């Protein structure tokens, strides 16, 4: 999973039918800085630091393997403990 | 899903048989600027801002899990609300 | 799918058994310029502009979900119509 | 799989229910330098050099194909033997 | 599939149980220059130019869809014939 920040919402009236009722949020990956859209399953809000999973796992996280989603917010991060010294490259 | 703009069409007479009848559009990812081809399931037109999903999810969005497609337009974006201040890196 | 050009062939005598009989071609992605190997299901030739799908979709395009292939040429492009003005970033 | 170093932990109280009990660690890919979060199945500790697999394989490594994880630590590296001369590009 | 060169081995005593008996080799992608670890199913040796497939296809190439591997060496390249003129970008 990647660590991202929720930065917004997106609305689409015309959409694939399995997306009905899915809360779509704009997230920004902390490492790459890239923004993309993820379905939310944990009630995340703008500004929160979250865990985002991608690919077929995201589809399953949204329930039932048939939702047209390839990224999902699966956790709201409470604590992130990283040993920066160990992270030296 | 990524946010992209529809920028064109592509036609192929010789193609894998499951692609028959699939509307193939050229989309340009807003973040990376990269262009690629996606099957359309929502009736998107050139110039529209859309949601594109990729991988096995795209195949399923086009119905039946057997279509030879790895990217699909699954929504036409009405509103995109991003808090740029929150997006600071 | 990505738009690529067929630039060559690759032969492997020692290979995973499901690759027997699969025509393996070297393709070059038009956007990234990256070259890789794809199985061909449409009879593409060197120099042709093609559609390449990747991941589990490629495996399925080659028939039966068990072929050891993660990229497949699934269409030969006849016409590519892109509105460059719309493509401005 | 990629070679990575374990550099930290992440805790999330609000999370997708299948993540309950999964040990989530922050890993840093040695090649790209990118940090991300992986579920641990081998009891890895901070500072260890590990093998990380991604995608649907990660989900399966955590057992049962339903866990909301797209990266997993699947091995702790004892020995890495690379012929740097052969690695010249 | 990508074209890579086998540049080494990796050993892990503590590993996910499905990796037992899998020969893990370090490969270097020719295009990107990136090194990663792949399971070998064709008896490749250090210095050989090989075909590597990734994702769920790799898992299946190693037999049975349950092996914790996301990259596999599936062919040893005999001949690579690329028309460099056609490859101009």
- The 10s digit of each residue's pLDDT in D15-31 is 999 999 999 999 999 99
DSSP string, A41-62: SS---TT-EEEEEETHHHHHHT
What is the model's pLDDT at position B73? 98
What is the torsion angle, in degrees rounded to the nearest 10, for the CA atoms of residue D87, residue E4, residue E6 and residue E9? 100
- Three-state SS at B38: strand
Closest-CA distance of chain B to residue A87, Å: 19
**Structure token pair of residue D60:** 């399966």
Share of chain A above pLDDT 70, in %: 93
pLDDT of residue C83: 87
Q: Do C10 and E61 touch (CB under 8 A)?
A: no
Given CA atoms D17, A28, C58, B66 in this order, what sign does their dihedral have?
positive
CA D69 to chain centre: 10
> Which residue do the tokens 């690919």 mark?
A55
Non-local CB neighbours of D5 within 8 Å, separated by 6+ positions: A86, A87, D27, D28, D30, D47, D48, D49, D50
Q: Is E8 on the interface with C (CB under 8 A)?
A: no
Q: Work out the minimum CA distance from A14 to partner chain D, whole angstroms.
A: 28
pLDDT of residue A65: 78
Q: In terms of CA atoms, which chain B residue is nearest residue C79?
A: B11
Do the strands E71-76 and E35-40 form a parallel or antiparallel pair, or are they unpaired? parallel
Element (H, E) at E11: strand E2-11
| Euclidean distance between CA atoms D20 and A45, whole angstroms | 21
Residue that has been written with the tokens 């050139």 in this structure: B46
Which residues from B are below 8 Å from C64, CB to CB? none
Judge whether D14 and A77 are in contact, CB under 8 Å: no
**What is the pLDDT, as a whole number, of residue E66?**
83
Residues 6+ apart with CB under 8 A from C55: B55, B56, B70, C70, E55, E56, E57
Output the pLDDT for position A89.
44
The overall average pLDDT reported for chain B is 92
> Which D residues, 43 through 72, put their C-beta within 8 Å of a C-beta on chain A?
46-47, 55-56, 58-59, 66-71
Distance CA E73, CA C88 (A): 40
Q: In chain C, which residues have their Cβ closer than 8 Å to the Cβ of E76?
A: 12-15
Residue of chain D minimizing CA distance to E20: D75
Report which DSSP code applies to A31.
T
Q: How confident is the model at residue B21 (pLDDT cuts 50, 70, 90)?
A: very high
Query: Average pLDDT of D27-47?
Result: 96
- Cβ E81–C5 below 8 Å, yes or no? no
pLDDT band at D86 (very low <50, low <70, confident <90, very high): low
- Structure tokens, B12: 């192929």
Residues 6+ apart with CB under 8 A from E32: C34
Q: Taking CA atoms, what residue in E is nearest to C60?
A: E57
A71 vs B1, B41, B75: nearest CB: B1
- Tell me: pLDDT of C87 over 60: no
Contact E58, E73 (CB under 8 A): no
> Of the given ranges (B10-19, C3-12, D63-72), which has the lowest mean pLDDT?
D63-72
Q: How confident is the model at residue A43 (pLDDT cuts 50, 70, 90)?
A: very high
**pTM for this predicted structure:** 0.93
C25 C-beta neighbours (distance < 10 Å), count: 24
Domains of chain C: 2-76 (2.40.50.220)
Of A3, A51, A86, the CB nearest to D46: A86
- Per residue in B33-44, pLDDT (tens digit) is 999 999 999 999
The pLDDT of residue C85 is 60
- What is residue E83's predicted lDDT score, i.e. its pLDDT? 87
Per-residue pLDDT, averaged over C5-33, amounts to 96
d(CA C7, CA D27): 38
pLDDT value for B86: 55
Closest CA to B68 of A37, C45, A36, C42: C42
Overall average pLDDT of the B54-71 stretch: 90
Q: For chain B, what's the residue count?
A: 89
Could you tell me the pLDDT band of residue E63, with boundaries at 50, 70 and 90?
Answer: confident
- With an 8 Å Cβ cutoff, are E81 and C14 in contact? no
Chains that touch A (3 or more CB pairs under 8 A): B, D
* DSSP 3-state percent helix, strand, coil across chain B (nearest 5): 10, 45, 45
Integer Cα distance of A68 and A71 in angstroms? 10
Residues in chain D: 89
- Please judge whether A12 and B78 are an interchain contact, meaning their C-beta atoms are less than 8 angstroms apart: yes
3-state secondary structure of A18: helix
- List, in sequence order, every residue forming a beta bridge with E35; answer none if it has no partner: E28
A81, D6 contact by CB (below 8 A)? no
Chains in contact with C, where contact means 3 or more Cβ–Cβ distances below 8 Å, are B, E
Asked if E9 has any chain D CB less than 8 Å from its own CB, the reply is yes
Overall average pLDDT of the C63-85 stretch: 90
CA distances (Å), origin C27, targets B6, B12, D17: 24, 17, 42
Of residues C64, C83, C80, C85, the one with CA closest to residue C30: C80
Residue B89 vs residues A7, A30, A49, B80, D25: alpha-carbon distances, Å:
11, 7, 13, 20, 22
> Residue A23 has what pLDDT?
96
- State the Cα–Cα distance between residues B25 and C81, nearest whole angstrom: 9
Which segment of B38-47, B63-72, D39-48, E53-62 scores lowest on mean pLDDT?
B63-72
Task: Give chain D positions within 8 Å (CB) of E8.
Answer: 80-83, 86-87
**What's the confidence (pLDDT) of residue C65?**
78
Contact A59 B57 (CB under 8 A): yes
Strand partners, D26: D8, D37
Q: How far apart are alpha carbons E11 and B30 in whole angstroms?
A: 42
User: Nearest C-alpha of chain E: how many angstroms from D38?
Assistant: 14
């Amino acid at each position: 999973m990647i660590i991202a920040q929720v930065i917004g919402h997106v609305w689409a009236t015309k959409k694939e039918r399995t997306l009905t009722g899915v809360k779509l949020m704009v997230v920004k990956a902390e490492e790459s800085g890239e923004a993309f859209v993820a379905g939310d399953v944990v009630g995340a809000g703008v500004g929160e630091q979250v865990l985002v999973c991608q690919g077929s796992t995201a589809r399953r996280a949204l329930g039932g393997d048939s939702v047209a989603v390839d990224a999902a917010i699966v956790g709201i991060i409470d604590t992130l403990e990283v040993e920066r010294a160990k992270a030296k490259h």
